[in-house]
Amino acid sequence: MTPCKSRSSEGAGETPAIAPYQPLVTNIFTADPSAHVFNGKIYVYPSHDRDEYFPPDDDGEQYQMKDYHVLSLKDFDSEVIDHGVALSVEDVPWAEKQMWAPDAAYKNGKYYLFFPAKDYEGHFRIGVATSDKPEGPFTAEKDFIEGSFSIDPAVFIDDDGQAYMYWGGLWGGRLEKWATGEYNADGVGPGADEPAIGAICAKMTPDLLAFEMKPAQVQILDENGEPIVAGDEDRRFFEGPWMHKYMGKYYLSYSTGTTHRLVYAVGESPMGPFVFGGQILDPVQGWTTHHSIVEFNGKWYLFYHDASLSGIDAQRCVKYAELFYNEDGSIRKVKPE
């Protein structure tokens, strides 16, 4: 289907105030929302699904995104503004195609857009682009981050100013083929009873343009302190890592992939280990599940996507819901309406 068109303002689409569990915008297909608060507003950095059909496979060829838009809203009673194209694959020297789930950050007086794309050798790498405005447009660095691979970057800046990047995804993200740090086309990942592959983490340099350490897997443990195993598909990591901090604890949340859950684990350090905490979101319409968690005006919010706008897995829409914690720090599960 073709998404309905919203009103436009100087080339940017707008929609009325948005209620929870409803699409933020309907003028374009959006997914993989990375939400941040900059200058007192919420900015959402989603991927931009194309209004074309591509045959699906386990390598993600149905997701042929080629640019990024930035959305913003003053609050949840105001209009959502689509600021238009912030970065296109044509503007990235090293990237050939598939501009998948991005993230953003602010530091050093600059706004940073982190994004995965396939290079001309067919490997996903992670790039960086910068702007002096949160909505862009963004200017990409000439090359991808050295040592990067796979998909779904999420950058967390701790209270001390140290930045960490989390990333990775199985199947289309091919994380199982990078187990040694080098690409192995025949890599299949661990057996069902072996520790699952975790998200990858690395400290970033102060300029947010490189890693200052060799990337390493983060460990996700069960309630007994044992590693979550690969066959535990309700709890093991699949893709879409996100980090946030609440009451001094570090919350690593992620998608389980095949069981379509958003779940979380809690740690004392940004690099783990993390102990599995529970489920955040019931499965939604569509195969993929990808999210972000952000605090705004004293409340917490979950941003996520589903395929309710189109009924097609690769043509999705971004939504939000308020997020609540219990007194012990556990997260109450969100049940989409």
Q: 240-276 pLDDT, tens per residue?
A: 999 999 999 999 999 999 999 999 999 999 999 999 9
Task: Indicate if the pLDDT at residue 9 is higher than 90.
Answer: no
Decide if 244 is inside a domain. no
The pLDDT value recorded for residue 8 is 34
Residue 13 included in any domain: yes
Is a pLDDT exceeding 90 seen at residue 155?
Answer: yes
pTM of structure = 0.94
Edge to edge, what strands does the sheet with 299-306 contain? 291-296, 299-306, 317-323
Measured between alpha carbons, how far is residue 157 from residues 252, 257, 332 in Å? 14, 26, 25
pLDDT at 7 over 80: no
In terms of Cβ atoms closer than 10 Å to its own Cβ (0-12, 13-18, 19+), residue 263 is buried
Distance CA 242, CA 265 (A): 11
Residue 178 belongs to some domain of the structure: yes
Cα–Cα distance, 48 to 91 (Å, whole number): 16
Residue 274 forms part of a structural domain: no
Do residues 305 and 31 lie in contact, with contact meaning Cβ atoms separated by under 8 Å? Answer: yes
In a domain, 174, yes or no: yes
Percentage, residues of the chain above pLDDT 90: 91
* Model confidence at 181: pLDDT above 90: no
Residue 13 has what pLDDT? Answer: 47
Containing structural domain, residue 183:
7-217+285-323
Residue 67 lies in a domain: yes
> Nearest CA to 63 among 202, 292, 240?
240
- For the chain, the domain total comes to 1
For the residues 171-194, what does the mean pLDDT come to?
A: 94
- Residue 59: pLDDT band by 50, 70, 90 thresholds? confident
- CATH number at 45 reads 2.115.10.20
Residue 60 vs residues 17, 39, 99: alpha-carbon distances, Å: 33, 35, 12
- Phi/psi at 245 (5° precision): -120, 135
Q: Which residues are catalytic?
A: 32, 239
Residue 20 lies in a domain: yes
Burial class (CB in 10 A: 0-12, 13-18, 19+), 315: buried
Per-residue pLDDT band for 117 (boundaries 50, 70, 90) equals very high
- In contact, 218 and 273? CB cutoff 8 Å: yes
Average pLDDT, the chain: 94
260 in a structural domain: no
4 pLDDT tier (thresholds 50, 70, 90): very low
Q: Give the span between the Cα atoms of 336 and 326, in whole angstroms.
A: 19
Dmax (CA) for the chain in angstroms is: 56
pLDDT at 272: 97
First to last CA, the chain: 23
